[in-house]
Amino acid sequence: MKMDLNKQLAETKANNKANIPTDIWNVMEESTNKLIQEQLSKNAFQVGDILPNFNLIDIHNKEVSLNDFSDDFLVISFYRGGWCPYCNLELKALQNIVPQLKELNTSLIAITPETPDYSSETYQKNNLDFSVLSDLDNVYAKSLGLVFQMPEELQKIYDCFNIKVDKHNGNDDFELPMPATYVLNKQREIIYSFIPEDYTERLNPDTILSEIKNNNK
């Protein structure tokens, strides 16, 4: 029996809190709380907006356009990187609903600021068979209002954890996208959006399926 994604995320967060020194954990939490207080998601594309086209690179260094996808619905999930345990849990959960999405004539895309070499590692590690695209320098995510810069204190903490965000992203901007998920119709209009400032929260795949079914009547 598959474990609910929200439960997996909560358990991962609880384990991290138990194992990370309190002073370090507090800095991480403070960074997240600041984004929540700033309501960063208010600046992002929302339901009713038409998503602009993109030209991004896939794991084979091939350019992919939003216009290449012609199914009735499209799900786009932004994730921070293969170094993020919450991202990997989400990607695996999305992979589990690929058969149902295909039955609903729906494509699935994951977008990351990581370079294709690293996104390819994530693709293989999680046995994915949907498109994983590299949004180098977060150009596309920025155009949607999803990007924030990591505070210096957080950069140092990640470095101590041997998480080299600059190396994975191929730049020294230390910028990351919120883990947003968009569900689009054939006209590329957003019919459902989930844009958490808290990186430990992700959209449950069952909600994605329900929204598509409700809009497919």
pTM reported for the whole predicted model: 0.96
- Residue 216 has a pLDDT of 81
**CA dist., res. 27 & res. 31, Å (int):** 6
pLDDT in tens, 92-142: 999 999 999 999 999 999 999 999 999 999 999 999 999 999 999 999 999
Q: Are 91 and 79 in contact (CB under 8 A)?
A: yes
Q: Is 1's pLDDT higher than 70?
A: no
Q: Is 158's pLDDT higher than 60?
A: yes
**Smallest Cα–Cα separation from 90: which of 28, 174, 168, 181?**
181
Q: Hey, what are 129's tokens?
A: 């068979």
- Residue 57 has a pLDDT of 97
- Residue 61 has a pLDDT of 94
Contacting residues for 166 by C-beta, under 8 A, at least 6 apart: 172, 173, 174
Residue labelled with tokens 């459902």 = 192
Average the pLDDT over 147-155 and give the result: 95
Q: Hey, what are 202's tokens?
A: 């992700």
Burial (0-12, 13-18, 19+ Cβ within 10 Å), 172: exposed
**Percentages helix, strand, coil for the chain, rounded to the nearest 5?**
45, 20, 35
Average the pLDDT over 153-180 and give the result: 96
Average the pLDDT over 62-90 and give the result: 96
- Residue 185 has a pLDDT of 96
**CA dist., res. 166 & res. 10, Å (int):** 27
**Single-letter amino acid, residue 206:** D
Q: How is 54-74 classified by DSSP, letter by letter?
A: -EEEETTS-EEEGGG--SSEE
**Smallest Cα–Cα separation from 215: which of 181, 190, 179, 195?**
190
Q: How is 102-150 classified by DSSP, letter by letter?
A: HHTTEEEEEEESS-HHHHHHHHHHTT--SEEEE-GGGHHHHHTT-EEEP
- Residue 2 has a pLDDT of 59
SS3 201: coil
**Smallest Cα–Cα separation from 51: which of 109, 128, 120, 123?**
109
Q: Hey, what are 198's tokens?
A: 């808290």
Sketch out the chain's domains with CATH numbers: 5-214 (3.40.30.10)
Q: Are 188 and 49 in contact (CB under 8 A)?
A: no
Q: Is 15's pLDDT higher than 80?
A: yes
- Residue 84 has a pLDDT of 97
